[in-house]
Every structure is written in structure tokens, then in C-alpha cells.
Chains A and B, each alone.
Chain A
Amino acid sequence: EVQLVESGGGLVQPGGSLRLSCAASGFTFSSYWMSWVRQVPGKGLEWVANIKKDGSEKYYVDSVKGRFTISRDNAKNSLYLQMNSLRAEDTAVYYCARDTGAFEIWGQGTMVTVSS
């Protein structure tokens, strides 16, 4: 079964850091671009970042450039999102997704809350 499972969310203070992980199974992880997409509860979806199959190219939405870093470990079938200098407006459910342009497969999401 093709599956993505996120972890690492939680409560963090403004200015703090958090690292999200996404474990992939059921497909050849190294053959796909991967993305992070977030959603403020009750609101719409926002693409955050993506990374090429081999990790050689990375792209970000403007609002997280310089603060978030996407990475992957193909040997571990894992995707990561390092989030630094967190702000209240980063509060959201963060999903990892298999990226073929459209987002084919989604994880169940992990909640990140930035609050003092």
C-alpha cells in the first residue's frame, strides 16, 4: 500500500524551531519529487516547498524562504522540513505529498501550533 506518514508536529513558541518528518512506503521514493503543503484549520491549502528526486533542486513559497529547509534521505525513504524562526502565521496542518505536478498521494498531516 502506498503510504505517507508525517510526524514531528507540536506546540512551539514564536521564534522557535521544529523538524517535520514524512515516512514513505509502498513506492520507489527516490523516483518522485516530494512536497510539503499546509492548511490552516478551517481554511484553504498552501504549497510550501518541494524537492527533486535526488535532492538537487528545492523550491519554496516566498513566505518561508530563508526560514524553512526541505530535505530528503532516499536511503531511509524519508522527507523532512526544518522550520526555523517560526511565526504565529505558520500554525497549520502540514501534509507531505507525492508531487508529479499535481499532488497524487497525501499523508494524514501533522499539526504545528506556534504560540506563546
Chain B
Amino acid sequence: EIVLTQSPGTLSLSPGERATLSCRASQSVSSSYLAWYQQKPGQAPRLLIYGASSRATGIPDRFSGSGSGTDFTLTISRLEPEDFAVYYCQQYGSSKTFGQGTKVEIK
């Protein structure tokens, strides 16, 4: 099983700042089958990024994904008030597993 480790656990930032979230895999994720999700309290997760770097339909371009192999990054270029949430990475190259999440909170 591929284990995904997200860091940091919590990121405290102000609106307008840049957020950089990390997702590290215990083994290489084939074909960059890596996705990112946003989840707000009481809501289902929402797909942001798939294939490591492709934005899902309707996702603003301030969200970007990068990386390959075992190291992946989600970047939010300028935080909007609605971006404060929990973010999960997920791999689908070998079965499907999620990271434990990174909470982006208002500083």
C-alpha cells in the first residue's frame, strides 16, 4: 500500500498570502496519478487537481499542482477567504489511498 504523508499538519496564513502544501508518497506514484481535494466543515470533498497538475472543472487558476514520483505540491498563489479549509492528497496509481490532510487556517 502506498502511504501518503502530508505536511505541514496545519498552515496558518493570512488572506493574500501564498500557501504551499506537500504530499510525499512511500513509493513512486505511477503516471503521476495524484489528486488534491478541498474539504470545508460539513461538506463533501471537492476535487481540485488530478494527474498531479491538471485543474478540475471550475477550479480557479490560483490553485496549481506539481510534482512527480514521490513528491507532490499543491500551491495556492493568493489565499482567498473561501480557501481556508482542509486539503487532502490522494493517489490512484496503485489502489487508492489518501493523505491525512493539511488544515489551512486563518492567521
Find out whether the CB atom of B33 lies under 8 angstroms from the CB atom of A103.
Answer: no
Residues of B within 8 A of A108 (CB): 44
Tell which of B33, B44, B95, B98 touches A95, judged by Cβ atoms closer than 8 Å.
Answer: B44
For residue B97, give the distance in angstroms from its CB to the closest CB of chain A: 7
- Among B47, B56, B96: residue with most chain A CB under 10 A: B96
- Among B37, B44, B95, B98: residue with most chain A CB under 10 A: B44
Residues of B within 8 A of A75 (CB): none
Find out whether the CB atom of B44 lies under 8 angstroms from the CB atom of A107.
Answer: yes
Residues of B within 8 A of A61 (CB): 95
Closest chain B residue to A100, Cβ basis:
B50
The 7 A-B pairs with the shortest beta carbon distances in the complex, nearest first, are A102-B35, A106-B44, A102-B50, A47-B96, A101-B92, A45-B98, A44-B100
Residues of B bordering A, CB below 8 Å: 33, 35, 37, 44-47, 50-51, 56, 88, 90, 92, 95-101
